[in-house]
Structure 1
């Protein structure tokens, strides 16, 4: 039976599955569409360049959805694990909905960006969405009047924090994957790095992930049902 001490170095990767349990629809569960939009139309730099009004309409709605959504027991279990491990805990999420931060997680890397922020395409200032005028069809930067874009890593762009994540993968003794199908790279390849460096690998997901061959322990089901009990066991509660 796996037991953690405060010195255990744990890296957690979360994906769309954990957010789905809070009512946020996933791309894979929507027949290849996000709210009836093709990925190519709303989640690529080319889409934004050709039709920024449409892209902003889409992300306004996703931002509103994120505000109304609440963390579920899986998010709260990860907060408890972080409180036990302190600086030996790091959470990397592919989600952009801010639910981990809303739950109380502190050591979080949002590798695909955040719905809470936007970036100026001209002066590169980062602003909180709540501080900009969302009534504009295309929100403009208050500093330089440049076009703002959502702070989201779109398909074809490089995720944030890859160097930090790679370092954490090489140092962790336990790598935990929650709510991800193991399909989208580079995140799907993280487990291989952790495994090769000697980490214990654990996954919780509704379905068997594509990278199951690199996972030592797999728990199939809802993360909100499974993770709280696992965390309690791991920290000896």
Structure 2
């Protein structure tokens, strides 16, 4: 309990905070995570292949079938998304968010200084003519009605390079932070987990997660439901 109080006090006192968020942040909104027993990868033999550039090129229908299961258009920002946005919009703190999530819930909650590290499901385009299309168009057909080209999301797939702008923004967000808060992620996916190496030597780190993660720096670990923890964060 003392560690929890210290973590909350750090958030209260810190001026430059960067949140690194993963799938666990969106679970309270009804979006399943990837690797838990109830996650999207459970009982799938090669889930990473289904989310790969190779699958998109070789077996586009199999890729589309899986990626369309990732859509949860009814999902709304939960208390974690909302509290992070409130810290940015209602205080004089400098708040940055770098998220692995592709659901845009941070954006819907109002976060402005946001880097969607792996892209977004909510942006789709045609591989042939490069024209942007709506999510509803993609969900109704995997082929562009104008040119017949195959449609895809703007999610960064396995085997694809990260968007250079997103990578630069993420590194800058970590470099500038006095406090880094890692929330709802196993912190195993590269290069997202490598962002921690860009922290300042004196920057503090808090981890809020259901399970401990492997981290090469000293940190406050708050085990349990992140929603409970974020409800205790005060916004002046």
For Structure 1 versus Structure 2, the TM-score category normalised by the shorter chain is 0.7 to 0.9
How do residues 1-237 of structure 1 correspond to structure 2 at under 5 angstroms? Answer: 1-2=9-10, 4=12, 8-30=15-37, 34=41, 37=44, 38-63=46-71, 66-85=72-91, 88-130=94-136, 132=137, 134-136=139-141, 138-140=142-144, 142=146, 144-160=147-163, 161-196=166-201, 198-211=202-215, 213-229=216-232, 231-232=233-234, 235=235, 237=236
- Helix, strand or coil at the partner of 1:152: coil
CA–CA distance in structure 1, aligned partners of residues 138 and 199 of structure 2 = 43
- Helix, strand or coil at the partner of 1:227: helix
CA–CA distance in structure 2, aligned partners of residues 11 and 177 of structure 1 = 9
Judged with a 3 Å threshold, the aligned counterparts in structure 2 of structure 1 residues 107 and 113 are, in CA distance, closer, same or farther, namely: same
1:73·1:225 contact (CA, 8 Å) conserved in 2? no
Q: What is the CA-CA distance between 1:127 and the residue it aligns to? A: 3.2
Judged with a 3 Å threshold, the aligned counterparts in structure 2 of structure 1 residues 167 and 133 are, in CA distance, closer, same or farther, namely: closer
Q: TM-score, normalised by structure 1?
A: 0.84
Q: What is the CA-CA distance between 1:44 and the residue it aligns to? A: 0.4
Gaps of 5+ in 2: 1-8
Pairs aligned (count): 225
CA–CA distance in structure 2, aligned partners of residues 152 and 133 of structure 1 = 13
Judged with a 3 Å threshold, the aligned counterparts in structure 2 of structure 1 residues 40 and 181 are, in CA distance, closer, same or farther, namely: closer
- Helix, strand or coil at the partner of 1:113: coil
Kindly indicate which of the two structures has a greater share of residues assigned to strand: 1
CA–CA distance in structure 1, aligned partners of residues 49 and 41 of structure 2 = 10
1:191·1:215 contact (CA, 8 Å) conserved in 2? no
2:97·2:113 contact (CA, 8 Å) conserved in 1? yes
